[in-house]
Chains A and B, each alone.
Chain A
């Protein structure tokens, strides 16, 4: 503690001694603050994790540019994008295009042992862009009636190679389990485009044309110039659109939770500092009687509050990392990602909780009568 009261020769660390005098009380206060900090950290980490998961396909599929119909601006809700599959050949003729491949994707609910699982189904051309990028077991689908499913989802629902999954009423045989395709909201599942189109009841069409080539910005510009009636997006643009879409749904509930957690932390610190002052009125009265000014006493209490907030912050960060890692290990579909900005928010939050908690006993201190020490 930085606040020390002068004695004849050395300073007495009153703040620290008060804090450590009753370890149970201190531990409970630290636990309350650490939990509040960990909760805020987990909420932000979960949101960033979902942000990352929502663009898993774009991050890994290998395409540099995505072509969709006008008005389609994100990958998961592209159901209204209907392009003729032959468009891929025309796009492939644009200078700089290395490969252009049609892909049909759609959201769908699978019922797996009585649990409904939302999935993002990708129909790809075997051997070309857009298929599974990392196989845990088995192989990529090559024929109608075959499916590769995310390995985390498969493990959670007891699916194995050779099993049959009903997708929109059609039985599909699991020929592969994919890695790097897990998500809390919509894990990825893969079929051939022919199978996807049959499930969708559409002819030889596609939702997107995936394009690879050098210098994606200029490549996108050239394709957009050639096809002005289509929406041409770089991988980064599509990824940003996907994340923005998701953030909008999550932001207000998240903000409510974070504010409540901050309120809990501030009240815990306030309760602790108030307890220290209220239970030690005589000690604080003595200090006043020997000449300590209110300002020094405020600083003493504020120091205690900030110390609790600081240690609680450190504990909360450790708890956040441990909890995030444990949850991810037990249930890999939940991903927690911490950004430097999250830590900055946690530090600011702990500081705010500490200062708010320090304000609580100010009135008690100000009204404390130095003569109180002589009354009992």
Chain B
């Protein structure tokens, strides 16, 4: 009867503290990559909160403007009126939009939306979702940060506005969303002749994609489906952040490699006598490499597990400390982390390879 001895596992677990330190080091290096990716993913999710939730299948903007984030748009009211009368359009709701800073002591960047009959808050925590006159609906967490609640006042558009509602799901690390009445916005910002965007609902039987294509041909505007608009928003963030994310992945990989290499090297050199014994009883170098590789995969795999666990813990703890920061792990990020993990394991196993290859089987008898 033959039985395999789990040498790799026994080697690793014999000194548990060393194993835990190695797993911890690799895990932290992978966490560097994963956490940045997760923050980035959350930003991508949050940046499309308005187009995703405003309810309109088609969004029209000034020709050449495809996004809200870091953009401004102006559509003449005459075009808005024509859109509203267009037989292909069931409803056209203009909105005004600008990025503002709310608060003095703890300033918060906010998208300020002026709306009338569409495009207002989609989930309320408390109060009214329909601000009138000098009233405003704030995001619930933003109101907390500004130290106010229902009935308090904030300055926006040069006016003191009373908070009449607190909305939910309208904050992110980049910005928050606040809502005022369309007329209040237009009057305060002196924007009587233009709207920023127009939210459009197609007549029954006409798809959003078809309507967007037709409107773009017939009017001097950019018309996009909600999905295309959101994709453009994500693309802005993606194009800005690609360099940073890549840089962090490289750093995480190199740090992980240094830690895993150190771990494999120390674990291997501590057992050179044992490897000499294995060589003495006939084990070839290739099998020894395979043994070390298994240890590397177990260490780095443990590190990945730890990194995922820590990421989960961060996703619970950090949002409680900083309401605008959250973490989202996507399948793509996970696959990327697994690929990095495998690459680190393979490279780390090579670090002590030369040392093992040079072990003399006779050395076991020398001391």
Interface residues of A (CB under 8 A from B): 22, 24-25, 28-29, 31-32, 35-36, 39, 42, 69-74, 77, 79-80, 82, 106-109, 111, 115-118, 166-170, 184-186, 199-202, 205, 229, 241, 244-245, 248-249, 251-253, 256-257, 260-261, 263-264, 267-268, 270-272, 274-275, 278-279, 327, 331, 334, 360, 364
Contact = CB atoms under 8 A, between A and B. Distances in A.
Given A32-B262, A278-B270, A116 B72 contact: no
Given A80-B100, A169-B220, 14 more contacts: A28-B265, A71-B157, A72-B101, A73-B107, A80-B157, A107-B71, A107-B99, A168-B62, A241-B101, A253-B173, A260-B28, A271-B266, A360-B21, A364-B17
Given A25-B266, A268-B262, A271-B25, A185 B240 contact: yes
Contacts of B331: none
B83 interface: no
Contact of A260 (B35, B254, B265): B35
Nearest to B72: A106
A288 to B, nearest CB: 20
A264 B28 contact: yes
Contacts of B71: 107-109
B269 A274 contact: no
Nearest to A29: B262
Interface string B14-34: 010110011011001101100
A24 B259 contact: no
Interface residues of B, number: 81
Given A39-B255, A331-B243, A73 B72 contact: no
A25 B29 contact: no
A32 B25 contact: yes
Interface stretch (B129-137, B231-239, B336-344): B231-239
Contacts of B104: 73
Interface of B: 15, 17-18, 21-22, 24-25, 28-29, 31-32, 35-36, 39, 62-67, 69-76, 98-101, 104, 106-109, 112, 155-159, 173-174, 188-191, 193-194, 220, 222, 232, 235-236, 239-240, 243, 247-248, 251, 254-255, 258-259, 261-263, 265-266, 269-270, 314, 318, 321-322, 324-325, 351, 355
A201 B28 contact: no
A277 B222 CA distance: 68
Contacts, number: 214
B76 A201 contact: yes
Contacts of B193: 201
B248 to A, nearest CB: 8
Given A106-B72, A118-B70, A334-B243, A169 B62 contact: yes
Contact of A77 (B25, B109, B222, B351): B109
Given A168-B64, A241-B107, A274 B262 contact: no
7 contacts: A36-B255, A72-B101, A80-B156, A107-B99, A166-B64, A199-B74, A257-B248
B265 A35 contact: no
B215 to A, nearest CB: 15
B190 A205 contact: yes
Contacts of B263: 271
B32 A260 contact: yes
Contacts of A270: 21
Contact of A79 (B99, B174, B265, B351): B99
Interface of B is mostly: mixed
Contacts of A82: 189-191
A241 B109 CA distance: 12
A359 B179 CA distance: 54
B28 to A, nearest CB: 4
A364 B112 CA distance: 60
B183 to A, nearest CB: 15
A32 B236 contact: no
A251 B31 CA distance: 18
A277 to B, nearest CB: 10
The residue in A35, A69, A267, A331 that gathers the most chain B C-beta atoms within 10 A of its C-beta is A267
A371 to B, nearest CB: 19
Contacts of A70: 155, 158-159
Contacts of B235: 116
B107 A115 contact: no
B98 A256 contact: no
A233 to B, nearest CB: 13
Contacts of B32: 39, 257, 260-261, 264
B262 A279 contact: no
A29 B29 CA distance: 14
Given A32-B255, A278-B15, A24 B155 contact: no
Nearest to B348: A28
A250 to B, nearest CB: 9
B66 A109 contact: yes
A256 B112 contact: no
A71 B136 CA distance: 15
A145 to B, nearest CB: 14
Nearest to A333: B243
Nearest 9 pairs between A and B by C-beta? Answer: A169-B64, A201-B74, A169-B63, A28-B262, A79-B98, A252-B322, A70-B158, A275-B266, A267-B25
